[in-house]
Amino acid sequence: MDVRTGLIVLFCLMGLTWAQPVKYIDCGSTTGKVIGVDINPCPNQPCQLHKGNSYTVNVTFTSNVDSDKSTAVVHGVVGGIPIPFSIPVPDGCRSGIQCPIKTGKTYNYQASLPVKTEYPSVSMILSSSDVKFCSLFLI
């Protein structure tokens, strides 16, 4: 079963060298539930993400559906419109999630996401396919 996942992460601004649980708001999860999000480095909120650096994002979630795969997507939000950005490893099954995903189990998606110097200064969205959950992060 192929289900689109929308985990929305609006990356804010401020960093150091350890993970900080990020406050988030559920924005319409249907087939999954986000339990927590950590960004490293980010000792304080709002997090400050600097161009030219990479940040580790860990999303812990419980799936409400079975799925054979998971695909992560990152978007920049420009004028309220999500614009896709490439990420090094979009395959969630190679980013800490043990596939196949099973209903009722908890998973950790972990990725190192670069903030490239050529990126515009925008809010960011992290999405995943196949298990639908959605969270808004004001970081």
Q: What are phi and psi of 87, to 5 degrees?
A: -125, 155
Residue range 22-37: mean pLDDT, rounded: 79
pLDDT in tens, 64-87: 999 999 888 777 777 778 778 788
pLDDT of 10 > 80? The answer is no
Q: 23 or 101, which is more confident?
A: 101
Angstrom distance (rounded) from CA 56 to CA 58 = 7
Domains along the chain?
16-133 (2.60.40.770)
State pLDDT tens for residues 97-135: 999 999 999 999 998 988 888 877 766 655 555 555 565
Q: What is the pTM of this model?
A: 0.74
